[in-house]
Structure 1
Amino acid sequence: MMRSAPRHSQKGLSFIGFVLIAVLAVAVFAIGGQSLPMWLEYQAAKKASQKAANEGTTVPEVRNIFDRAAQIDDIKSLRGQDLDVSKVNERVVVGFEYERDIPLVGPAYLVYRFSYQTK
């Protein structure tokens, strides 16, 4: 009677495991691809609000400076009238808050809440 060679467990990824990892990777890239422009817009809004706080002295002036910068940087989620403008210790302080969402599946959304205040 001949003995067969000992069985070695296979190493690697099953087809189902590969499909699950592929679906997860596609989901991460899809959400990341939609999230990156939102994050870049938030960074541009921070920069524009800082510029408006540094250059403006009155509320309408601050809002106009922000609107001009928003037009250049293609900021669509926020306008000058949405800014909270105040003075603290003779310095102009500009703040804002807004939300953006990404539809996922059916009624599910990924919601980003952005807020910033100049120093």
Structure 2
Amino acid sequence: MNNRRHPPLTSQRGISLIGLILSLGAVVLIAMLAMKVVPTAIEYFSIKKAIVSAKNAGTTVREIQIAFDKQAEVGYITSITGKDLVISRNGDDIDVSFTYQKKIPLFGPATLLLDYEGTTAKSGIATKSQNN
């Protein structure tokens, strides 16, 4: 008898249950990591905007620090303050730089350490802090 209702078994296509579970696990891990890293990246870009605004708002070191602190309060910036900024003269121009580290706990003893730095200098190279 020739049974046409059931085609002969050939190679199956698609993802297996184990493959699906592993794929979903990887997606969940990446999503969890992104949920922890994205807020720090958003804060970093807010700091970069705030130093440009502070630089344009003042001519002395203290005025720039105060202007940054006001921007930080409005922009929910908590990683650095105006006193953490490195402010230096470059001829007639003022350069404002910052560097900081953000430590993000992942799970157990594992943490992720991110180094952020930025500057208003045209060269794009941040001035290192003299006071540690």
TM-score by length of 2: 0.83
Q: Hey, what's the Cα distance between the residues in 1 that align with 2:98 and 2:70?
A: 16
Please give the per-residue CA displacement for 1:49-105, whole angstroms capped at 9, x wherever unaligned: 011112211111110000000000010001000000001011111000011122222
CA distance in 1, matches of 2:47, 2:95: 14
Amino acid at match of 1:42: Y
What amino acid maps onto 1:65 in structure 2?
A
Q: With CA pairs under 8 Å and 6+ residues apart, which has the higher RCO, 1 or 2?
A: 1
Partner residue in 2 for 1:28: 30
Question: How far apart in 2 are the matches of 1:115 and 1:62?
Answer: 18
Tell me, in whole angstroms, the C-alpha distance in 2 between the residues paired with 1:102 and 1:12: 37
What are structure 1's unaligned runs of at least 5 residues? none
Structure 1 consecutive aligned stretches of length 4 or more whose deviation exceeds 2 Å? none
Give the deviation of 1:6 after TM superposition.
4.4
Aligned to 2:62: 60
Which residue of structure 1 aligns with residue 116 of structure 2? 114
Distance (Å, rounded) in 1 between the aligned partners of 2:100 and 2:84: 9
Q: Name the residue aligned to 2:21.
A: 19
How many residue pairs match? The answer is 119
Which SS does the other structure have where 1:25 is aligned? helix
Gaps of 5+ in 2: 122-132
Q: Is the Cα contact below 8 Å between 1:56 and 1:92 reproduced in 2? A: no
**Contact 1:56/1:65, CA 8 A, preserved across alignment:** yes
Higher helix share: 1
* Identity level (%): 36
